[in-house]
Chain A
Amino acid sequence: MRVAVAVLMVAFLVACGPNVKAPVTVMALLYNGSNKLGPKQTTLDTVTNITALKGTVVNLVGGAGVTVNDPDGPDPFSLSDEELLNAELTSRGGDVHANLIDKGGVLWPADFHSWAMVTTYWNFEQSFNYFKAIYDGEKTDTLAGAQVLYWGNYTDLGVADPAKQVLTDNIIYFSDVRSFLFAPFSQLQKVPLAMNLGVVGHEFSHRVFNQKAFGNQAHPVELRWDGAPLNVVKGVDEGLADFHGWGVTCVAKEGPGCSTRYLALSFADEAAVAARDFSLQGQQNCMSTALRTAIDNLHTFEFQRVGMEYKLGTLIAAALYQAAEPIGQRDIMQKALIQAYDDDSTQSLGLRQLFEANLNTPENVTLEAVSDTILSHITGEELRRRACAELWDRLDLHPDMIPLPHCPNTATRGGTCPQ
């Protein structure tokens, strides 16, 4: 009997998971010299539970579900943050269990989702490190600690076709529940979005935008707007996310290196990838009549349904890229954008202040107003001049009608796009 008890005790001791402290040496799917993914040794510096993939940056959660736009549910604008969370996070989920094999002190994922989750955590860690750097000394406590609803179920009951109510092939930051959600892949059969460093950096940027430009509102009151003002806000959010996503690819250790085409890893549609490549110098990244018309006239629901926020975002990202990259001032631009989100100094108000000041006059939230807010936070004269010229040109701004007071006098409209 004693022997049996001893055997069982040993069995349970052996059955414990890896109990390691950060930094944890793991294998993840990272980038090799030819910019392909492959197993590569790295460290997770912030993880506190390696099998559950929980740490100070993010906490992965499996089996969670979100349901939105329930016709029988309450108005999300009327709910407190906690009530909103309880109403929309319909399944809290539980811990993930990464299957890890210890080989000489290096933990190897032993099935697909374990590879994917370790790589996902690494992507979030790199993204956090990027923002921590460009926050430039500002506290980043609120950025950390989000949940990642891995393989989460996101059901939008507002979609008429029941077959299309469940989100697939996407990853989002959903501020209502203050969580990232990685939806199951279905049609996308390349690199899953959560394993795509640039995409994760893009989504992390949405969390930054929510916390700063929307003042960390779970369900921002600005979403009550509709049409042009909200279309502009959506476009700016996407454009800055593209720009930061690219920024993450530039600085991540064992990353792919700077790539504005990071979407190509996950999307097979080459035309769609090229349409989001904000580094292209031709006229494709210029305001078109169709986009201008969409911004001014479409309801935001329709604007987003046809993906116009991404088109507008690409133009904004292209302007910022062409302003900074040729003169090697990428990091100055990145830090300027962080400052531009939220700044209550009288000399240069931030986007948050612009939005809050115009809650009842959203028509004042224009591309010119947003551009000027960004320009006001760019410190270098040359960079600001170049940024003004690019934004003016690519967004087809009309400073004659809506002034850009922070555009230097030396600035003229750039010459890439037709007038």
Chain B
Amino acid sequence: MSLGRTLLVLALVGSTAAWAQRKKDDAPLPYDEQGEDDDKRRDLPRRSDATSEPAPEPDVESKGRRRSLASLDDPNIGLSLEVVGAALLLDSSRGQTVEGLGLGGIRVTWEWSRTFLTDEFWREIFFLDLTWFASRSSGPGGFGGTTEIFDSVNYHYFTLAPAFAFPLGKTPLAVYGQVGGGVNYQTSSIFVQSQDSTNISAVRFVLQYGLGLRARIHFISEESFRENGYTGIPCLSVRLELTRFRRAYMDDTVIGGSVGITF
């Protein structure tokens, strides 16, 4: 049978059924006592039964279902190693506000809340920085002195600073603030009129505080992670920061950032 004929037969059957239905609709409505199924309707209950409740879930299943899967989605343990590069605006002893110096350093960051907290939000909040910042001023020069009298100074800051990060939505960015402390180790060598240098050093308390923007960028795409699972590839961590040190009675400012990897 051709397709045309099949369609024609279906159309005729359909139109016949529609005609029969219309004919039935046109029939007069029966009185109540004339209904065919009156007896059946009277048998229905006047109220519905209460909705049945599901059976209680066993505890072991409940806990398992509520457990956060955040650590599975982002399985990094949150241990970072970063290289710091910045401008150190040293408190100016000569009263010129600041002395600009270069600064480098190494930072180890532990996002400890990723280890101890399971909540998807809170595990992104806390971290701890252990940092060594180092800078050097070597004369002669305007800050270091003249060719006949000059001072070479090394500044080392060793600090431990807890931080609080606030993730920016679902982006890899987070702003953070931190307050911590440590020590400043300074050495100074004064050279005068070609004589042997005289050296002095000191360890002084340092209060550290600051703000910054931190990014943790995954090396591996989400699709790749779903297909292949976590293969130990770390994240790239990048940071921009404004950090200040209260060095004894002096105030130093660091403007810069760091870059490294996060495991």
Interface size class of A (residues with CB under 8 A): 35 or more
Complex CA gap A246/B186 in Å reads 38
B101 to chain A, nearest CB (A): 11
A392 to B186, CA, bound (A): 60
B198 touches A (CB below 8 Å): yes
Q: Do the beta carbons of A113 and B192 come within 8 Å of each other?
A: no
Which residues of chain A come closer than 8 Å to B188, judged between CB atoms? Answer: 101, 108-111
Contact of A110 among B143, B145, B200 (CB under 8 A): B200
B200 to chain A, nearest CB (A): 5
Contacts of B15 in A (CB 8 A): none
Q: How far is the CB of A227 from chain B (nearest CB, A)?
A: 38
Check if B151 is an interface residue, CB within 8 A of chain A. Answer: yes
> Chain A interface secondary structure, helix, strand, loop or mixed?
mixed
How many Å lie between the Cα of A7 and that of B209 in the bound state?
Answer: 14
Which residues of chain A come closer than 8 Å to B151, judged between CB atoms?
111-112, 115
Q: Which A residues are in CB contact (< 8 Å) with B190?
A: 29, 39, 109, 112, 115
A111 touching B93 in the complex, CB below 8 Å, given contacts A16-B249, A51-B249 = yes
Decide if A93 is an interface residue (CB 8 Å cutoff). yes
Shortest distance from the beta carbon of B27 to any chain A beta carbon, whole Å = 85
Q: Does any Cβ of A come within 8 Å of B181's Cβ? A: yes
Number of interchain pairs (Cβ within 8 Å) = 130
Which residue of chain B has the shortest Cβ distance to A7 in the bound complex? B181
| A110 CA / B202 CA spacing, docked (Å) | 9
One digit per residue, 1 when the CB lies within 8 angstroms of any chain A CB and 0 when it does not, for chain B 122-151 equals 000000000000000101101111111111
Chain A residues with CB under 8 A of B201: 101
Given contacts A39-B190, A184-B142, contact A151 B181 (CB under 8 A): no
Asked if B66 is at the interface (CB within 8 A of a chain A CB), the reply is: no
Instruction: Name A67-92 residues within 8 Å CB distance of B.
Output: none
A96 and B94 in contact, given A110-B153, A115-B151 (Cβ under 8 angstroms):
yes
A189 lies within 8 A of chain B by Cβ: yes
Residues of A within 8 A of B147 (CB): 189-190
Q: How far is the CA of A151 from the CA of B146 in the complex (A)?
A: 14
Verify A36–B249 contact, CB threshold 8 A. Answer: no
Residue of A nearest to B195 (CB): A38
Q: Is the CB of B195 within 8 A of A117?
A: no
A174 within 8 A of partner (CB) = no
Binding site for A on B (CB under 8 A): 91-97, 137, 139-140, 142-151, 153, 179, 181, 186, 188, 190, 192-193, 195, 198, 200-202, 205, 207, 246, 248-250
Closest 3 A/B residue pairs (Cβ): A62-B95, A17-B249, A112-B151
Show 11 A/B contacts (Cβ-Cβ < 8 Å), sorted by A: A15-B205, A15-B246, A29-B192, A93-B95, A99-B93, A99-B250, A111-B93, A111-B188, A113-B94, A115-B190, A195-B149
Where the two chains meet, the residues of A that have a C-beta atom closer than 8 Å to any C-beta of B are: 7-8, 11-12, 14-17, 29, 36-39, 51, 60-63, 93-99, 101-103, 108-117, 150-151, 184-185, 188-192, 195
